[in-house]
Chains A and B, each alone.
Chain A
């Protein structure tokens, strides 16, 4: 059995010291990423506060600023967990973490709670908190994939077997909830990590084309669920503004409201708390899945573009910092986290601006949503913590130039 060991003194570590470590230089922390993350959270606070104020003005109590603050406070320790965890411990416990996440997903249909026709949440007896295991599963998958790819460069089709199985299992469980949006985020993360691990471009292209073909067959063969088919049809039809306006009271209600809010923003925006999304309160999930529409309306094209660029920079910096990590496992985890944020961002914004069919997915670090924030903070902690460590590794890449 392997025992934890220390670079200095080669003494095995036990207890928490085997799991967590704060032994790294402050200067090693990727401050630009931390700063951007703080800016994104700050942006979230500003807009959620404006929503709460707007609700107060109109006699509603849909959005609670205090509630959001509480969630942030609860999420902070999880950030520290991710930040301080030792990569070696993480690598060794990767299968266990993955198994735990899968177990939670399996438990959802059994003990989970149904809301809005979907069963995605498990009530936690302590603190009145509802856990959405699919959010954690995405992180679990990143860690497991990093573990699997730790020793594989995906040079042959055979090497794809394990990562594919690892990805498909949570995808299937999440899609069954049903939560196709979350399931779809797994695809770019998996493919992206495959690429980072060294997969050949031809293989990736083949996989992407194969995925598209499978999706097309599923759609044509009516293998996707009825409501999903309808969403896809609505999405396809709603590129035409007039069709979207005509369907505004039916299946395209959410898409229409998001489009109105975004389009209403114009170049410079309506001003904080002064958008139609906040005033009329017709936009569903405006503090959560649709928060980008609110920001785009109140901040306008300029504000939304700054957010997009900021987010891209944030994801890009994480990816870049992953390239600097010497440990292959840690590098893959950090890269996976970068892909995780990027995938969420593209899908969320794509849905809001009508480039993708309507699906419920949060905008990490900005949307409210306890489980999402929890997962985002752990992911951010992992990205910052793992990239800050320069522990030597004797892995596949240790002797590469």
Chain B
């Protein structure tokens, strides 16, 4: 061995030892790190969603259920690469340097496809060097300048990179396999570039050029025929589920599908462009007004990357701005901000809290989410607004513009809250006392007085306040509040906005914040435009500013972004986008499954959907108000869900877990809500959500299970489906009641009949079994109806009305039997004692100052005749003798001061207070707590003015009259396999003989000729006996009625049969111009006459005779 070899060998083996040492460090020392990373690359976890429980009617019929369905998804990248329409449109876009639309390509598809495959390799090479490609009817223009300039411009426009893309599209159009294309590629290299791609491919296949062309065109035609077939079946326009298609309802289905494809393509490109901009500039492009963005910053590099022209660039700038304002700011950040404030249980949010969060919207982008979430994460301190030193757009100017940027730019007061004087002041005055002093220090903020007036006093009011309707007033208010917020104001007052419990409070607060943000944003844009103008003026040279005065993003930043362009396009292009949320027809699913090779990018994916099985009048579910609604997880739930979701993500990404972590993962998968999961938010769906909801399962695969049979399922936990809920609702009776409310009877023979009410009925029907099962709970307008925009008041408020009283809802004369029974039992009223219903000084007949409905008076009346004729004077006289506390006791005895037990917890109740749904109103301060004036006592005896009730409350009270027991109301009889036993009824501590006397009076109401319901509810009318009472309560004086008629609530409440009743009914009519006998009684009559009601009674052994036609 030569002496020159030995040192070389030494170096060689020394190097080898070094390599082995490094290998040891990676493979053994850091093995766990890289093994985890490797596991992340191949492991895939999948949540297995549970099936939500069904809701069944009394007879076991399914009312609502989860059903497996399909959703149509589009994966645009697959479509672009796999469908001739995408291939041609994108190939042409590359060549022409503009976004050639799919619709445009569809018009000339075959011709363009042929043009493309007839391209010569030398033409493509020349194009890549900046030359033109010319064809009949179209051309890819040459770039400007001499040969060298064209080359440079072609490089800037990435033409040389796009040759490979163009080849890909040509290969796909020609239908060549990888192997064939490799061979063609070699032919291209060997040829002089003067044989077309078509010619070379035909040669490789051993075909004539014309044969291959025919094959290709046949394939293109077939693909379009299949797409057309899909379009015809998918019917994207049917349910208007896609807002963008609303204006295109009458165009052919294929055009709609192409429109949707184009929309997704634009979304992919827009999102990629935005991401590129963020990568280069460090902030979202939507933070700048389109005009500023386009005129002050050079964006040609984005246009060049995506083959856009200037028009498309302008459309993007507009779109991202809209997206930022509507989707990000108003749709994401502000709701989150509000959810945070509302959910904040610890603090009463102050103006400072609002400012802290609002200022976060303008702080450094990466921190916005954290800032908004900070209150719920103790590890992340909230940065007070006065310490917010930098503004997002100005944050990294030095870095993203290669300019000597003046550092003072960041100190600019572009937003009002950045006033240094104010910030300094706030820095020293942070505690409550200091805030008070600050409030005193400043002018007392007047707007709060107005806010007090504007915000509804009672949580019962759901309607937008008059203030919110009055744009001018609201604007003025906002300007004042915004001015206050720019400084600092009375925090405790502002806090009230967020601790209010109604939607109206929240809506108002949200709108207020939105408008403040809007004003701040306008100020910011104005300031930023000036900043950029100054920067342009101070910039020099083409590296800093383009000849037309746009600032250049630093090349290092830009190049880094450009490097990732393909990744972003691929990433967004691979994200599935729902084409429609509506379930596609079976044929569509079948088509996509059977001929998936013809539908590149289109997928029908399995999903669960809540299906309404039994529908009512308006196509919504029967008993919609009781069933309630479901919705996707909202911001509030997401925030409440956050800690769990965060931990779940951590565990998810942790490829190796211990047994405890494994158990935690499975538990969290079951608990944490998925982003598109359905939650019950009202009614039974909401109240029994914990039972209806199951828990999700989980499957984790290792080894790319979906691709390889050799993959291993590492972990699996099956989903646990939700439990079924059995309602007490009788479907047939419910349907009958809803039908009557939706189409109330029109009684032309009654001169007092209120026709206007029947045009837009508002009311409710309740049928309760005597034991307390809710058989019918019908409301009108139903909660699933679109509110009539022209409607006012309660007509515009489609809510459940059997359990809620959205307005003050006095029972009127239906309270009289309760008052009578109480008086007989507790006040030892002599039933024969009478009073005189005669002339009173206020005009008309009545008692002292309370008028009777009978204008000339009933004369001398006792309890029986007063009940029969609903004499107000008699019950005013009775009320006059009641003590205030006796009224309160009466309400307590009949359960009018509390709920009806419909929210009775199931035996496994888990903190009932936290449950949503089955909301029930009741008057917490019955009869004004007993503090009544003399007149109020007389009104109280008539159910007027001092007490509000719901129809279900009234039905339960009448059940007590009918049976002597006050039942607990229930609407759910069984959950899963567990019966929900009724709570025991309460025996009424009142005299049984007195009860029978009252029942006799109620029977006279319907069967005595002098009874107020004789015309409608007599045995002759119904075929069976009922005991009932009519009632009316004025709600307006009639001054605002066009016909100057007094507006009122009217009621009918009763039970049947009068002895041993089986069911109690209550009819409630809101806002009518006539009394119960001329309105509500007809509805009661119609309902009780229905075959369903008769069959129901007959089933329970009630003798039902024939009906005498009116």
Find residues 22-41 in chain B having any chain A CB closer than 8 Å to their own CB: 22-24, 26-28, 30-31, 33-35, 37-38, 41
A88 within 8 A of partner (CB): no
With both beta carbons as reference points, the residue of chain A lying nearest to B16 in the complex is identified as A312
Do residues B24 and A301 form an inter-chain contact, with CB atoms below 8 A? yes
Do residues B41 and A128 form an inter-chain contact, with CB atoms below 8 A? no
Find residues 104-120 in chain A having any chain B CB closer than 8 Å to their own CB: 113-114, 117
B707 within 8 A of partner (CB): yes
> What CA separation (Å) do A308 and B16 show in the bound complex?
7
Do residues B31 and A312 form an inter-chain contact, with CB atoms below 8 A? no
Do residues A123 and B26 form an inter-chain contact, with CB atoms below 8 A? no
Contact status of A282 and B30, CB under 8 A, knowing A319-B12, A320-B1: no
Contact status of A262 and B34, CB under 8 A, knowing A114-B160, A300-B27: yes
B704 within 8 A of partner (CB): yes
Residues in B with CB closer than 8 Å to A128 are: 183, 186-187, 190
Residues in A with CB closer than 8 Å to B42 are: 276, 279-280
Do residues A323 and B23 form an inter-chain contact, with CB atoms below 8 A? no
With both beta carbons as reference points, the residue of chain B lying nearest to A304 in the complex is identified as B23
Contact status of A308 and B23, CB under 8 A, knowing A264-B38, A282-B41, A323-B2: yes
Do residues A296 and B23 form an inter-chain contact, with CB atoms below 8 A? yes
Do residues A58 and B707 form an inter-chain contact, with CB atoms below 8 A? yes
Do residues A280 and B27 form an inter-chain contact, with CB atoms below 8 A? no
- Give the contacting residue for B38; candidates A123, A261, A305, A323; CB below 8 A: A261
- Give the contacting residue for A260; candidates B18, B41, B178, B189; CB below 8 A: B41
B977 within 8 A of partner (CB): no
With both beta carbons as reference points, the residue of chain B lying nearest to A353 in the complex is identified as B22
Would you give the shortest CB distance from B279 to chain A, in whole angstroms?
Answer: 10
Would you give the shortest CB distance from A247 to chain B, in whole angstroms?
Answer: 11
Do residues A259 and B5 form an inter-chain contact, with CB atoms below 8 A? no
A266 within 8 A of partner (CB): yes
Residues in A with CB closer than 8 Å to B178 are: 61
Do residues B9 and A316 form an inter-chain contact, with CB atoms below 8 A? yes
Residues in A with CB closer than 8 Å to B19 are: 308, 346, 349-350, 353, 355
Would you give the shortest CB distance from B841 to chain A, in whole angstroms?
Answer: 89
- Give the contacting residue for B1; candidates A262, A315, A323, A342; CB below 8 A: A323
Most buried by B among A251, A261, A301: A301
Do residues B12 and A259 form an inter-chain contact, with CB atoms below 8 A? no
- Give the contacting residue for B27; candidates A241, A265, A276, A349; CB below 8 A: A265
Residues in B with CB closer than 8 Å to A250 are: 560, 563-564
Residues in B with CB closer than 8 Å to A125 are: 190
> What CA separation (Å) do A301 and B31 show in the bound complex?
10
Residues in A with CB closer than 8 Å to B22 are: 353-355
A392 within 8 A of partner (CB): no
Residues in B with CB closer than 8 Å to A57 are: 707-710
Do residues A353 and B707 form an inter-chain contact, with CB atoms below 8 A? no
Residues in B with CB closer than 8 Å to A304 are: 23, 27
Residues in B with CB closer than 8 Å to A349 are: 19
Would you give the shortest CB distance from A350 to chain B, in whole angstroms?
Answer: 7
> What CA separation (Å) do A61 and B31 show in the bound complex?
30
Listed stretches A38-46, A159-167, A173-181, A192-200; interface member:
A192-200
- Give the contacting residue for A245; candidates B16, B37, B186; CB below 8 A: B37
> What CA separation (Å) do A249 and B708 show in the bound complex?
25
Find residues 236-281 in chain A having any chain B CB closer than 8 Å to their own CB: 241, 245, 249-251, 256, 259-267, 276, 279-280
Do residues B4 and A198 form an inter-chain contact, with CB atoms below 8 A? yes
A309 within 8 A of partner (CB): yes
With both beta carbons as reference points, the residue of chain B lying nearest to A323 in the complex is identified as B2
Residues in A with CB closer than 8 Å to B189 are: 113, 123, 130
> What CA separation (Å) do A282 and B30 show in the bound complex?
20
Residues in B with CB closer than 8 Å to A221 are: none
Residues in A with CB closer than 8 Å to B27 are: 262-263, 265-267, 296, 300-301, 304
Contact status of A195 and B4, CB under 8 A, knowing A128-B190, A312-B16: yes
B914 within 8 A of partner (CB): no
A9 within 8 A of partner (CB): no
Would you give the shortest CB distance from A333 to chain B, in whole angstroms?
Answer: 15
Do residues B704 and A280 form an inter-chain contact, with CB atoms below 8 A? yes
Would you give the shortest CB distance from A40 to chain B, in whole angstroms?
Answer: 15
Would you give the shortest CB distance from B191 to chain A, in whole angstroms?
Answer: 9
Residues in A with CB closer than 8 Å to B23 are: 262, 296, 301, 304-305, 308, 353
With both beta carbons as reference points, the residue of chain B lying nearest to A256 in the complex is identified as B37
Interface string of B429-454 (1 = CB under 8 A from A): 00000000000000000000000000
> What CA separation (Å) do A356 and B20 show in the bound complex?
15
Do residues B8 and A319 form an inter-chain contact, with CB atoms below 8 A? yes
With both beta carbons as reference points, the residue of chain B lying nearest to A262 in the complex is identified as B26
Would you give the shortest CB distance from B765 to chain A, in whole angstroms?
Answer: 62
> What CA separation (Å) do A362 and B405 show in the bound complex?
47
Residues in B with CB closer than 8 Å to A296 are: 23, 27
Residues in A with CB closer than 8 Å to B563 are: 250-251
Do residues B34 and A192 form an inter-chain contact, with CB atoms below 8 A? no
- Give the contacting residue for B186; candidates A61, A123, A262; CB below 8 A: A123
Would you give the shortest CB distance from B11 to chain A, in whole angstroms?
Answer: 9
A290 within 8 A of partner (CB): no
B542 within 8 A of partner (CB): no
Contact status of A263 and B559, CB under 8 A, knowing A308-B19, A312-B13, A319-B12: no
B547 within 8 A of partner (CB): no
Residues in A with CB closer than 8 Å to B4 are: 195-196, 198, 323
A15 within 8 A of partner (CB): no
Do residues B28 and A267 form an inter-chain contact, with CB atoms below 8 A? yes
B15 within 8 A of partner (CB): yes
Most buried by A among B4, B160, B704: B4
Find residues 313-354 in chain A having any chain B CB closer than 8 Å to their own CB: 315-316, 319-320, 322-323, 335, 339, 342, 346, 349-350, 353-354
Find residues 97-146 in chain A having any chain B CB closer than 8 Å to their own CB: 113-114, 117, 123, 125, 128, 130
Residues in A with CB closer than 8 Å to B8 are: 192, 195-196, 319, 339
A158 within 8 A of partner (CB): no
Residues in A with CB closer than 8 Å to B37 are: 245, 256, 260, 263-264
B567 within 8 A of partner (CB): yes
B590 within 8 A of partner (CB): no
Interface string of B172-197 (1 = CB under 8 A from A): 00000011000100110110000000
With both beta carbons as reference points, the residue of chain A lying nearest to B710 in the complex is identified as A57
- Give the contacting residue for B12; candidates A241, A265, A301, A312; CB below 8 A: A312
Residues in B with CB closer than 8 Å to A123 are: 186, 189-190
Residues in A with CB closer than 8 Å to B12 are: 312, 315-316, 319, 342
Contact status of A263 and B707, CB under 8 A, knowing A130-B189, A319-B9, A342-B12: no
- Give the contacting residue for B708; candidates A279, A300, A353; CB below 8 A: A279
Do residues A308 and B559 form an inter-chain contact, with CB atoms below 8 A? no
6 smallest beta-carbon distances between A and B, as pairs: A263-B34, A123-B189, A128-B186, A264-B38, A323-B2, A276-B38
Q: Assuming A259-B26, A323-B4, what are 18 further A-B pairs, CB within 8 angstroms?
A: A117-B160, A123-B186, A128-B186, A196-B8, A226-B559, A251-B560, A262-B27, A262-B34, A263-B30, A263-B37, A264-B37, A266-B27, A301-B27, A308-B16, A308-B19, A316-B13, A354-B22, A355-B22
What are 29 A-B interface contacts by the 8 Å CB criterion?
Answer: A57-B707, A130-B186, A130-B189, A196-B5, A198-B4, A226-B559, A245-B37, A250-B560, A256-B37, A262-B26, A263-B26, A263-B31, A264-B38, A266-B28, A276-B42, A279-B708, A296-B23, A301-B23, A301-B27, A301-B28, A319-B5, A319-B9, A319-B12, A320-B1, A323-B1, A346-B15, A353-B19, A353-B26, A355-B22
Residue numbers of A with Cβ under 8 A of B are: 57-59, 61, 113-114, 117, 123, 125, 128, 130, 192, 195-196, 198, 226, 241, 245, 249-251, 256, 259-267, 276, 279-280, 282, 296, 300-301, 304-305, 308-309, 312, 315-316, 319-320, 322-323, 335, 339, 342, 346, 349-350, 353-355
